[in-house]
Amino acid sequence: MNTLPPLRQPCPPGACNCERDRLLETPGTDIRILRLTRQEEKILLERLEDLKSLADLERMQQRMYEQLGIRLTIAPGPNEVRTMRGIGIHIEELPGLCRKTRQSIPAAIRRGLEKRPEIAYDLLNAHDLLGGI
């Protein structure tokens, strides 16, 4: 017996622009993102807030792409980085990704970086902004 994993429930009408229905109606599309149920999203956000290292963050980025199709880019912003807000966190457009989820993932990563600023320093150093200090 082949059972499908549970899919995310649709957002209330007019509350989101995730295009979930269009994604489901189009044959052959990648619907991995719809496997991110609200419960799974809570687990993901908790995990992103509890990062251990830069390597852990990079591993999470890779797993998010492999399992959900979410392409996440994290890099220092073009201006001076004085706070975690100066670190740019960008999620590539992805049909089926809820608007709230698109906002909560970067917020969770920033909270994780605030808990462990050494990860942010490693990120800056990886982009040679600290010049090997």
Question: Residue 115: which pLDDT band, with cuts at 50, 70 and 90?
Answer: very high
Contact between residue 30 and residue 70 where contact means Cβ atoms under 8 Å apart: no
DSSP label of 29: -
pTM, full prediction = 0.84
Q: Which of 10-14, 78-82, 105-109 has the lowest mean pLDDT?
A: 78-82
